Structure 1
Amino acid sequence: MNVLLVGPVPPPNGGMAMQTAQLLQLLRAEHGLSVQLLAVNAPYKPAWLGRIPLVRAFVRLLPYLWQLHRAIKQADIVHLMANSGWAWHLFASPALLIARWHGTAVIVNYRGGSAQQFLQRQRRFVLPLLRQAAAIITPSRYLQRVFAGYRLETQVIANIINTAMFSPANHNDSSDDTLHLVVTRNLEPLYDIATAIRCFALLQQDYPNSRLSIAGSGPALQDLQQLVTELQLQHRVCFVGRLDRQQMVALYRHADIMLNPSTVDNMPNSILEALACGVAVVSTDVGGIPDMIDHGVHGLLVPPRKPDLMATACKQLLQQPALAATLRQNGLALVHTLQPDTVLPQWLQLYRQLSKAHA
Structure 2
Amino acid sequence: MANQTKQLSALLISEGLKVTVVRTNADYRWSWVSNLKGLRALARLLPYVLELWRLAGNVDCMHVMANSGWSWQLYAAPAIWIGWIRKVPVVVNYRGGDAERYFKASMRWVAPSLNRASEIVVPSMFLVNVFDLFGFKAKIIPNIINLERFKFRSRNISDDRNLRLVVTRNLEKIYGIDTAIHAVAILKSTLPDVKIVIAGSGPLRDELVALTEALELSHSVEFAGKLEPEDVAKLYYEADIMLNPSTVDNMPNSVLEALACGLPVVTTNVGGIPFIVKDNESALIVKPNNPQMLADAILKLVNNSDLYHKLAVNGFAVAKQYGWVAVKEQWLGLYKELINAE
Return the TM-score normalized by structure 2: 0.97
In the TM superposition, residue 170 of structure 1 has moved relative to its aligned partner by 4.2
- For 2:246, the equivalent position in structure 1 comes to 262
Query: For 2:230, what is the secondary structure of its paired residue?
Result: helix
- For 2:308, the equivalent position in structure 1 comes to 324
- For 1:343, the equivalent position in structure 2 comes to 327
1:119 to 103, 110, 121: 103
* Structure 2 gap ranges (5+): none
Does the C-alpha gap of structure 1 residues 297 and 121 become closer, same or farther in structure 2, counting only changes over 3 Å?
same
In the TM superposition, residue 305 of structure 1 has moved relative to its aligned partner by 0.2
In the TM superposition, residue 45 of structure 1 has moved relative to its aligned partner by 3.7
In the TM superposition, residue 47 of structure 1 has moved relative to its aligned partner by 4.4
Superposed CA deviations along residues 146-205 of structure 1, whole A, max 9, x for unmatched, are 000111111100000001001133413313453100111000111110000001111111
Superposed CA deviations along residues 296-341 of structure 1, whole A, max 9, x for unmatched, are 1110111110000000000111111100100010011111111101
Alignment of 1:209-228 (within 5 A): 209-228=193-212
In the TM superposition, residue 76 of structure 1 has moved relative to its aligned partner by 1.4
Matched letter for residue 308 of structure 1: Q
Does the C-alpha gap of structure 1 residues 197 and 158 become closer, same or farther in structure 2, counting only changes over 3 Å?
same
Alignment of 1:286-297 (within 5 A): 286-297=270-281
1:312 aligns to 2:267 (yes or no): no
Task: Extract structure 1 runs of 4+ deviating beyond 6 A.
Answer: none
1:300 to 284, 287, 291: 284
Return the TM-score normalized by structure 1: 0.93
In the TM superposition, residue 72 of structure 1 has moved relative to its aligned partner by 0.8
Query: For 1:262, what is the secondary structure of its paired residue?
Result: coil
Superposed CA deviations along residues 80-115 of structure 1, whole A, max 9, x for unmatched, are 111111110000110111111111110000002011
Q: How many residues align?
A: 342
* Structure 1 gap ranges (5+): 1-15
Query: For 1:356, what is the secondary structure of its paired residue?
Result: helix
Structure 2 Cα separation of the partners of residues 301 and 173 of structure 1: 19
1:171 to 107, 130, 155: 155
Matched letter for residue 21 of structure 2: L
1:71 aligns to 2:71 (yes or no): no
Structure having the larger proportion of residues in strand = 1
- Kept in 1, the 8 Å contact 2:262–2:315? The answer is yes
- Kept in 2, the 8 Å contact 1:263–1:286? The answer is yes
Query: For 1:37, what is the secondary structure of its paired residue?
Result: coil
In the TM superposition, residue 73 of structure 1 has moved relative to its aligned partner by 1.0
Query: For 1:283, what is the secondary structure of its paired residue?
Result: strand
Query: For 1:241, what is the secondary structure of its paired residue?
Result: coil
Structure 2 Cα separation of the partners of residues 143 and 181 of structure 1: 29
Structure 1 Cα separation of the partners of residues 28 and 297 of structure 2: 44
Matched letter for residue 217 of structure 1: S
1:30 aligns to 2:33 (yes or no): no
- Kept in 1, the 8 Å contact 2:144–2:322? The answer is yes
Matched letter for residue 222 of structure 2: C
Structure 2 Cα separation of the partners of residues 351 and 117 of structure 1: 30
- For 2:185, the equivalent position in structure 1 comes to 201
Matched letter for residue 335 of structure 1: A
Query: For 1:34, what is the secondary structure of its paired residue?
Result: coil
Structure 2 Cα separation of the partners of residues 99 and 258 of structure 1: 41
- For 1:18, the equivalent position in structure 2 comes to 3
Matched letter for residue 224 of structure 1: L
Superposed CA deviations along residues 113-171 of structure 1, whole A, max 9, x for unmatched, are 01101111111010121121110000000000000011111110000000100113341
In the TM superposition, residue 51 of structure 1 has moved relative to its aligned partner by 4.5
Matched letter for residue 255 of structure 1: A
Structure 2 Cα separation of the partners of residues 181 and 206 of structure 1: 15
In the TM superposition, residue 261 of structure 1 has moved relative to its aligned partner by 0.8
- Kept in 1, the 8 Å contact 2:123–2:140? The answer is yes
Structure 1 Cα separation of the partners of residues 36 and 268 of structure 2: 35
The worse-fitting range, judged by mean Cα deviation, of 257-266 and 55-64 is 55-64
